[in-house]
Amino acid sequence: MLSRTNARAAIGIVSAALACAATIGCESDPPRPAGSADVRLDQGKRSATVAMTGMLRVELEGNEGTGYGWRLGAIDSARLEKVGEPTVTPLDPGLRGGRTITSFEFRPLVPGSTQLVFELVRPWLTDEPPARRAEVEVTIKGGGA
């Protein structure tokens, strides 16, 4: 039988191990379906081929401190469906207002070609034109890409 001191120490160790394991599990993305594609626009890629069984992720770099953010400007909703809301991830987590990556996820609906348009805007200024536009040519293949 464990003494109270040893029991508390054991509980503390087990709690710390579980917290660590939970943190590690949360940091990794779930596996992506076969035929998925990623486009990171700041790296010069402007096109993607995705399978009907896959998902498309589009990533755009921005700067949180400027007040500008990326929004979806145009989508062919007959071919692609936006999944969820965009996520914003800091590139320099210790730097407030620093560079960020905004990620959009899309599910293919039918094979073919289409275009996505993204706009860099200050959301509270509705009459102001976008500061930048980014376009992605998307090819959706039936089955595997």
Whole-number pLDDT of residue 29: 62
Contacts of 107 (CB under 8 A, 6+ apart): 55, 56, 80, 81, 83
Structure tokens given for 15: 């709690």
pLDDT in tens, 42-81: 766 799 999 999 999 999 999 878 899 999 999 999 999 9
Q: What angle do CA 115, 117, 121 make, to 5 degrees?
A: 175
- What's the pLDDT tens digit per position in 98-113? 899 999 999 999 999 9
State whether the Cα torsion 122-128-131-133 is positive or negative: positive
The DSSP 8-state label assigned to residue 7 in this structure reads: H
| CATH code for the structural domain at 37-141 | 2.60.40.2020
> For residue 2, what are its two tokens?
């464990």
Is the entire prediction scored with pTM above 0.85?
A: no
